[in-house]
Structure 1
């Protein structure tokens, strides 16, 4: 585990922070607070004994300082006070993002037009099963990814990076991509043309279609003139032998426990065509909602 992985793994940082603040909180509740109480009781007993002696000698005493003495001794040190304040907040955030929902920001255009750069999305962490935080080890099965799901996963070549693509092949599927058309298990998907899509950044138009990989159909983009895939970018990924490539198409049989992923912006997506399959252990969760895009509030809504 290198430093880059640690710095890039927010879940690990959050877990360490939760453990450290939790240890300090527990030590204070079960040890330091009791020690302060003992010290305060001793100081108050000495204070009361001194005042009783002075009263017996006929000297008037002032008891107003008794509470300030007790408060000063019982006061938590700053480092304990801050740790105790942060611990429940950190623990709540850790539990929410580890087992329920985790926010992500879309950094690239590989899923346009479904997801735009700058979209802030929520990912359901339990829909594909309960996993141990940090280790990402599944302990309880719930559902398996389905064709058409928009899924977040750990990039197989760098587990510190989170990728988001669409599931186009589940274990056992035979996936063929020829002439920019997908076939699943020998059946070509249906495509319906839509109005051309304007790329606001590059000011170019893309061909836009609906693809019936699942219900409801989703939109994809193609660029005329671009190859179905770039052979020079295909890597020697694990289980590469499950795929065959030719000049105009490729075919892959998805191995058990793996998934074939593609971006909806088909000609501008680095996906399973190039770096291979996504193992079950890499799954993070299912993207289901855009909760904010500061450039366009109209983006808020569910993901299809």
Structure 2
């Protein structure tokens, strides 16, 4: 074997090891995701890049790249908590990634009445925070912002939501009973989110479809600069969102 051949083999081995380590981290620890739509505004903005913890709810086949059908259910599984922002595989195709807030656990009764969320027959409190201007997701518009408080584990979890109106298509629903092995997920941008309220689309989310819990925004751009406009990159970065936690 020549010295040149040996050098190439060492380089290939280094690349293979690096790929295996990266895949291992992506499978068992953290995976990066980006936000392409505005269904989770104001919590998540279009152009946010975030890390999702893969270990938060245990591991299913969807924890592995390309979701190979190696096993059923979850290993080291744990239920989400109400209020968690979670990534899951779209139940209709088990391949598209969705990110929403978990508002209902197995056995919970969920209903929307005039834009208000009801959990097990009790109205979930919300506090008005004034107007909010939505940008970067279609036409610029001003809606109402609220702080919603979900009960969980003997305590509460607060997060912000948006409502353009209280009489939209998903503001008055039937009462949904979350079946065993499933959760109920909704977007924080309540009038601009396709989620569990639409049974013919997302519906109840199987626990097996959970990929992980959103933890931290590590990068964010507002879309004002093209990839080749290097000179505009600094002004396009949302510096205040970098390395912020996902609430």
Q: TM-score range by the shorter chain?
A: 0.7 to 0.9
1:206 counterpart (143, 166, 169):
143
Say which one has the larger Rg: 1
Tell me by how many angstroms 1:264 deviates: 0.2
User: 1:271 maps to what in 2?
Assistant: 195
Tell me by how many angstroms 1:287 deviates: 0.4
Is the aligned partner of 1:229 residue 2:170?
Answer: yes
1:153 counterpart (65, 71, 88):
88
User: 1:192 maps to what in 2?
Assistant: 127
Is the aligned partner of 1:217 residue 2:158?
Answer: yes
State the SS of the aligned residue for 1:91. helix
User: 1:27 maps to what in 2?
Assistant: none
Tell me by how many angstroms 1:128 deviates: 0.5
Tell me by how many angstroms 1:195 deviates: 1.7
State the SS of the aligned residue for 2:102. strand
- What runs of 5+ residues in structure 1 fail to find an aligned partner? 1-35, 37-69, 231-247
State the SS of the aligned residue for 1:224. coil
User: 1:296 maps to what in 2?
Assistant: 238
* Cα separation, 1, equivalents of 2:176 and 2:157: 25
CA deviations over 1:207-230 (Å, ceiling 9, x no partner): 110110143410000112751429
State the SS of the aligned residue for 2:150. coil
Is the aligned partner of 1:101 residue 2:30?
Answer: yes
* Cα separation, 1, equivalents of 2:206 and 2:168: 27
State the SS of the aligned residue for 2:94. strand
* Cα separation, 2, equivalents of 1:71 and 1:122: 42
Asked whether the equivalents of residues 56 and 212 of structure 2 are also in contact (C-alpha less than 8 Å), the reply is yes
- In structure 2, the CA distance between the partners of 1:94 and 1:259, relative to structure 1 (3 Å rule), is same
* Cα separation, 2, equivalents of 1:188 and 1:180: 11
State the SS of the aligned residue for 2:106. coil
Tell me by how many angstroms 1:82 deviates: 4.8
User: 2:224 maps to what in 1?
Assistant: none
Q: Give the number of aligned pairs.
A: 216
Asked whether the equivalents of residues 179 and 228 of structure 1 are also in contact (C-alpha less than 8 Å), the reply is no
User: 2:39 maps to what in 1?
Assistant: 110
Tell me by how many angstroms 1:130 deviates: 3.2
Is the aligned partner of 1:164 residue 2:94?
Answer: no
Greater RCO between the two (CA within 8 Å, min separation 6)?
A: 2
Is the aligned partner of 1:127 residue 2:56?
Answer: yes
Asked whether the equivalents of residues 114 and 167 of structure 2 are also in contact (C-alpha less than 8 Å), the reply is no
Asked whether the equivalents of residues 217 and 246 of structure 2 are also in contact (C-alpha less than 8 Å), the reply is yes
2:174 counterpart (238, 247, 250):
250
**What is the TM-score of this pair, normalised by structure 2?**
0.81
Query: Which stretch has the larger CA shift, 129-138 or 208-217?
Result: 129-138
State the SS of the aligned residue for 1:76. helix
Structure 1 or 2: more strand by fraction: 2
User: 1:76 maps to what in 2?
Assistant: 6
- What runs of 5+ residues in structure 2 fail to find an aligned partner? 222-236
